[in-house]
Structure 1
Amino acid sequence: MHLPRSLLRAALLFALAWIALCGIARAADETLSVGSKRFTESYILAELLAQTAAPHTATPPVVRQGLGNTAIVYEALRSGAIDLYAEYTGTIALEILKGAPAGTREEMNAALAPMGLGVAIPLGFNDGYALAVRAADADRLGLRTLSDLAKHPELKFGLSNEFIGRADGWKGLAGRYGFTQTPTGLDHGLAYDAVAAKQIDVIDIYTTDAKIDHLGLRVLEDDRKYFPRYDAVVLYKLDLPERLPKAWAALKTLEGKVDEHAMIAMNARAELQGVPFDVIARDFLASAGGKDAKAQPKEERRGFTAKLFGPDLWKLARQHLLLVALSVGIAILVGVPIAILVFPHMRLRAVVLGFASLLQTVPSLALLAVLISMRGAIGALPALIALTLYSLLPIMRNTVTGLAEVPNGLRLAGTALGMTPPQSLRLVLLPLALPTLLAGVRTATAIAIGTATIAAFIGAGGFGERIVTGLALNDRELLVAGALPAAALALLSEGVFELVEYLMRRRRRAPPSSMPT
């Protein structure tokens, strides 16, 4: 099969872009990469670690915010996509080491060493799991402990999805206390609104959450001592102290500097006042360094316009466009030739299109999780693979449909003129099938623009970063500030395809130029 030169040139360009994008995955050894989970405190601690190390690194640290739950951030650390992140001892023991909480940090380090990881720099506070109810309900029902709560099966539980699935989460807790309810899975930030609106009665909380007192919630005592301690520490790659000794020495100065009151106050500034994470970290470091934190420039709560047209708008737009353009481009280069090859074979065509249809039914986050596990990496590469797979079906299906719609008389005319099958394909079939093929590309582009917002859950960037952060902070304005540009990009793509189709129709209607006599 001979492809047009323009298609080969496009293939080369996309291949070079793909290689360049993959090469960005890890910069030089001098770059420190800090990760975070997808909740307020982790965002702040990532900025705190990065800003502490920044004066002692050759290049500014890279902060990979909102990577997801423990499994994704740990995979990022293990694969080398990040160098360190703030973690909690109970989570390390039960989620990463899959065992009982280690008695000492030395025992934990001994278990982590074969993985190339270590734990150090206890920050100075414990942020444990707990269950909370509205204070009015606690007073009315006499709820003081989790044992008291177990006596009221009529109460509705709304728990974070991670807590429901954790080794130290709902299953073990329900077994210890005899809870019989089936909890509803909720995002951690949205659960506070749900309990305040009386849609649910019980939520899981982190003990340093700012909204506990703000919403008048009562934290119930873990009287059967189910939860371990969750002391905040730094989980890091063992080669980091040797690779960046000055930055590591600076990070060690944070040991014991963040107590629970300070962490609650920082969480409150983010969730209740809308102060950016980097500003919160900067003000804390200024205060801890002996400077007057009040002397630092304070930022008022940003309005919707400031969030929508923030300084990150063009960076996120560039990332989103790159993800969409590369994934759709690669899907064209892969899908169109496959569709052409299977078109004459009815059974093979049905199998290939059926497999592409099956890929469309796989939930986005599930596919990303599988790709992370297979590739051992987070970021742009698994996101591009997922978006490309989702783009294949409309492109392949419309290519096959377009070829099938070519009148048989035109096929026979090409043969009668002595065209070879490749010539007939290039000069007759593909030009006539092009409008239908283009409609498939149009559909694939719309799908990719919407699905690309999910890529932010694994650190691939794009407008989804604002949506992920808005969910973590329960900030509706920030959610909309991420959704609106994505919608605008979808409308812009529709306008571009409308223009292309108009030009194609106009070209087909244009009369042939008269020949000189």
Structure 2
Amino acid sequence: MVIGSKDFTESVVLAEIARLAARERGVEARHRRSLGGTRILWRALVQAQIDAYPEYTGTITQELLRELPANAGFDALRTRLAQSGIGITDPLGFNNTYAIGMRESDAGRLHIRSISDLVRHPNLKLAFSNEFMSRADGWPGLRAAYRLPMAARGMDHSLAYRALASGAVDAIDLYGTDAEIAYYRLRVLDDDRGYFPRYDAVFLYRLDLERRAPQFVAALRGLAGSVDARQMRALNSAVKLDGEPESAVAAAFLGLDAPGVARGDLRSRMVRHTLQHLRLAGISLLLAIVVAVPLGVLATRRRHLGQFVLGLTGVLQTVPSLALFVFMIPLFGIGAEPAIAALFLYSLLPIVRNTHAGLTGIDPALLESAAALGLPPRMRLWRVELPLALRSILAGVKIAAVINVGTATLGALIGAGGYGEPILTGIRLDDLGLIMQGAVPAALLALAIQGAFELLENALTPRGLRIRAKS
């Protein structure tokens, strides 16, 4: 069984509770942490990439099943989900509603108690989580419902709290059970027009599990009514503010011993992240070399087709990296495969362009000499042109490799692992040490790869060409 979670602390904690509850019933489940936002988790569930994940009723009606009214009854919700092959547990016991929050001192000074009061202060700086900025129940609808005159910008939810505390912004979106509300002494503004629906926490799961893994479903259903809002805030606080591992917090909640649920040995984690990162960057680079070098050769042989190839690979390079990763999910699901596919596409341009540049930059006199010797075109390519263009080709491969190492950190957003995993966890938990556990090795790996390619370039380039290049 595979349980997914979104990229915020509460979702991770709830998924860990479900994993341990399933283990108590003899079902081993794996937790794929912080896979991204609502749409990614929903698609993964429908496509059987995961078997269950924690969700909220308001999100289901406002984002996933928009044909249902916000106040749709639970029976209607269950019936509609069943049509997609998805089951739903009864509510876990708390309503984690969206809210808008401000620093208590500022709200008191400006006499702001409700969201409607914001209208009188059009110069306030608002920052909302990126998902909230585009959700049907997020900023666009909120702005229209309250006729708010100010603009807002998107920001990672965890970072928004620090921005609010530092005074960089004046108001942010909150989750009702966030531990930071009390920690930063925030005022939660009244939703005086009743804009936000209820967000009762539930678990969504694949309906076929009722037949395949009834004990797993029983474990999920057994969590219904077990967590109230006060308890959930305490669980979030233990992770976010006290720095306890999610697994340990989940085990304590269930009254279980938690041997081996700590964050794990640093060395073993680093080895695992390094191997995952090398897999992402290495496989994508090898695939790109196999495809891009022939494309570069083709671009030199057929001019018009070459312009198209260079233009297409250039366009791929302009697609935002995170968007490209997400675009791959419908084709490959979640995990390493979509990340490798995205990195492969990003690797094409530098290799194709440098192969093309290396081949077109060869002295025509050398090509004429090769032709005069009677070498056929294929032999000229392998014996003369590619060796002469090797330095340029290797430079393109080196650029692609270094880009891949950096961009591969985004793979953690779709469950691919690698150095991005501690970086994203560190951002979520506001833990600089965790961020450095991913950022520093990624930078060192990029430098090591660059140095290795320079050595490889010197080793593979014929001595005569090296002397010529130096002169």
**TM-score, with length taken from structure 2:** 0.94
Asked whether the equivalents of residues 75 and 376 of structure 1 are also in contact (C-alpha less than 8 Å), the reply is no
The 5 Å alignment of 1:139-218 reads 139-218=108-187
How far 1:476 moved relative to its partner?
2.4
Residue of structure 2 in register with 1:76 after alignment: 44
> Which residue in the other structure is 2:60 paired with?
92
The equivalent of 1:18 in structure 2 is: none
2:332–2:338 contact (8 Å) kept in structure 1: no
Q: 462-471 or 208-217: which moved more?
A: 462-471
Whether the 8 Å CA contact 2:408–2:418 is kept in 1: the answer is yes
**For the Cα contact (< 8 Å) 1:57–1:244, is it kept in 2?**
no
Alignment of 1:388-407 (within 5 A): 388-407=344-363
Choose the corresponding residue for 2:335, options 370, 374, 379: 379
Alignment partners' CA distance in 2, 1:238 and 1:360: 40
Question: In structure 2, do the counterparts of structure 1 residues 351 and 509 end up closer, same or farther at CA, with 3 Å as the change threshold?
Answer: closer
Question: Is 1:329 paired with 2:286?
Answer: yes
**Compared with structure 1, are the counterparts of its residues 73 and 299 closer, same or farther at alpha carbon in structure 2 (3 Å cutoff)?**
closer
Q: Give the secondary structure class of the aligned counterpart of 1:255.
A: coil
Pair 243,510 (structure 1): closer, same or farther in 2 beyond 3 Å: same
Q: In 2, Cα distance between the equivalents of 1:463 and 1:73?
A: 21
Secondary structure, counterpart of 1:254 in structure 2: coil
Q: Report if the CA contact (8 A) 1:124-1:232 is conserved.
A: yes
Deviation at 1:47, TM superposition (A): 1.0
Q: Which residue number in structure 2 is paired with residue 496 of structure 1?
A: 452
Equivalent position SS for 2:128: strand
The reply to whether residue 43 of structure 1 matches residue 16 of structure 2 is: no
Aligned position for 2:409 = 453
Where does residue 127 of structure 1 map in the other structure?
Answer: 96
User: 1:365-389: per-residue Cα shift (whole Å, max 9, x none)?
Assistant: 111222224x162222221111011
Q: Distance in 1 between matches of 2:465 and 2:138?
A: 66
Between the aligned partners of 1:56 and 1:336, the Cα distance in structure 2 is 54
User: Retained in 1: the 8 A contact 2:391–2:461?
Assistant: no
Contact persistence 1:275–1:299 (CA under 8 A): no
Distance in 2 between residues matched to 1:478 and 1:347, nearest whole Å: 50
SS at match of 2:154: strand
Rounded Cα–Cα distance in structure 1 between residues aligned with 2:175 and 2:378 = 64
Q: Secondary structure of 1:502's partner?
A: helix
- Aligned sequence identity (%): 46
Are the equivalent residues in 2 in contact too, given 1:158–1:202 (CA < 8 A)?
yes
In the alignment, the residues of structure 1 paired with residue 90 and residue 17 of structure 2 have an alpha-carbon distance, to the nearest angstrom, of 13
Task: Tell me how far apart the structure 1 counterparts of residues 165 and 437 of structure 2 sit (CA, whole Å).
Answer: 25
**Cα shift readout 1:389-416 (whole Å, capped 9, x = no counterpart):** 1000010111111111222222222222
Corresponding residue number in structure 1 for 2:369: 413
- 2:282 and 2:26 mapped to 1: Cα distance? 34
| Aligned residue pair count | 466
Indicate whether 1:348 and 2:313 are aligned: no
- Inter-CA distance 376–490: structure 2 relative to 1 (3 Å threshold): closer
1:261-410 to structure 2, matched below 5 A, reads 261-286=230-255, 309=266, 311-373=268-330, 375=331, 377-410=333-366
Q: 1:212 to 1:310 in 2, by over 3 A?
A: farther
Q: Does 1:423 find its partner at 2:391? A: no
Residues 101 and 187 in structure 2, CA contact (< 8 A), matched pair in contact too: yes
Number of the residue aligned with 1:291: none
The Cα shift of 1:158 comes to 0.9
Q: 2: distance between equivalents of 1:200 and 1:404? A: 53
- Are the equivalent residues in 1 in contact too, given 2:209–2:216 (CA < 8 A)? no
Q: Retained in 2: the 8 A contact 1:102–1:108?
A: no
Give yes or no for contact 1:340–1:399 (8 Å, CA) kept in 2: yes
Alpha carbons of structure 1 residues 298 and 245: separation in structure 2 relative to 1, 3 Å? closer
Counterpart Cα distance in 1 of 2:7 and 2:311: 36
Q: Does 1:474 align with 2:443?
A: no
- Name the residue aligned to 1:12: none
Closer, same or farther in 2 for the Cα pair 1:297/1:110, shift >3 Å?
Answer: closer
Q: Which 5+ residue runs of structure 1 have no aligned equivalent?
A: 1-31, 288-294, 512-517
Whole-angstrom distance in 2 between the partners of 1:163 and 1:414: 63
2:18 equivalent to 1:61: no
Shift, 1:507, TM fit: 4.9
- 1: CA distance between counterparts of 2:332 and 2:396? 32
